[in-house]
Amino acid sequence: MGVWQWYKGLSPRTRMMVGVGMMAYAGAGLYFGDYIEERYGFKKATEKEREELWEAIPKITVIEKKNR
């Protein structure tokens, strides 16, 4: 039985509670993420590190073909 069939088999109220629970979990992660990073010693990237990362990203060049 797939996850989607299991989910569709739940009552509408239970599906709503599962959805609200997932949104609350995601919201808490966004809200407390910076605090948790600071508490466990993760540092924010410096400007130099950001520039190095930006330079490492592949660049996309568009080449137009001639019409035949």
Distances (CA, A) of 48 to 7, 19, 27, 36, 44: 46, 40, 30, 24, 11
Both structure tokens of 13: 């109220």
pTM beyond 0.85, yes or no:
no
Return averaged pLDDT per consecutive 10 residues of the chain, 68 residues in all.
Answer: 90 96 97 90 87 92 84
- Give pLDDT, residue 15: 96
- Give pLDDT, residue 43: 80
Q: 3-state secondary structure string, 5-55? A: HHHHHCCHHHHHHHHHHHHHHHHHHHHHHHHHHHHCCCCCCCHHHHHHHHH
